[in-house]
Amino acid sequence: MTVRLASCTCGQLRAEVRADPLDVAVCHCYACQRRTGSVFSAQAAFPRESVTIEGAGTEFVRVGDEGARFRFTFCPACGSTVFYVEEGAEQHIAIPVGAFADSNFPAPTVSVYEKRKHSWVSLPDDVERWPKDPV
């Protein structure tokens, strides 16, 4: 089993993970673009019990298009989001892939909200795309 360490930019807020990802997804929605400052987000989901959090975090709740409430925890000193959970699905925890600072991290398997994808972004051909027919 791989042990991985995710952290914010300043290192104050950290998550130690003792499991392989359940899935790795990228999301092109504008909320993810604003949250990350990048043109898409990339995050890995893990079983909650495999993750140990250290440090202080501040929470921000964002309500998704379909009413789901996502609870993001970010470092109050440097602002990086280090993990988030969906209310009602607390058995899983999502961690931004970039927080691991590991260019060998597993590639995404799912691509979400492609109707907001920047035209120059290309992903592996075998990624599962949602929705299937972007509107």
- Does residue 8 bind Zn ion (CB under 5 A)? yes
Check the CA dihedral 109-115-116-120 and report its sign. positive
For the window 12-31, what string marks contact with Zn ion as x by the rule CB under 5 A?
x--------------x-x--
According to DSSP, the β-strands at 81-86 and 69-74 are antiparallel
In angstroms, what is the minimal distance from the CB of 1 to Zn ion?
27
- Based on the shown chain and the rule CB under 5 A, indicate whether residue 77 belongs to the binding site for Zn ion: yes
Q: Which is nearer to Zn ion, 27 or 42 (CB)?
A: 27
In 3-state terms, what secondary structure has residue 33?
A: helix
List the Cα angle 89/4/108 in 5-degree steps.
Answer: 60
Residue 43 contacts residue 83 (beta carbons within 8 Å)? no
Identify which of residues 19 and 86 has a Cβ nearer to Zn ion in the complex. Answer: 86
Q: Which of 56, 61, 63, 78 binds Zn ion (CB under 5 A)?
A: 78
Q: How far is the CB of 29 from Zn ion (least distance, A)?
A: 3
Tell whether residue 10 is a contact of Zn ion (CB under 5 A): yes
Query: Which CA distances in Å does 39 have to 15, 31, 102, 119?
Result: 24, 10, 19, 10
Residues that bind Zn ion (CB under 5 A): 8, 10, 12, 27, 29, 32, 75, 77-78
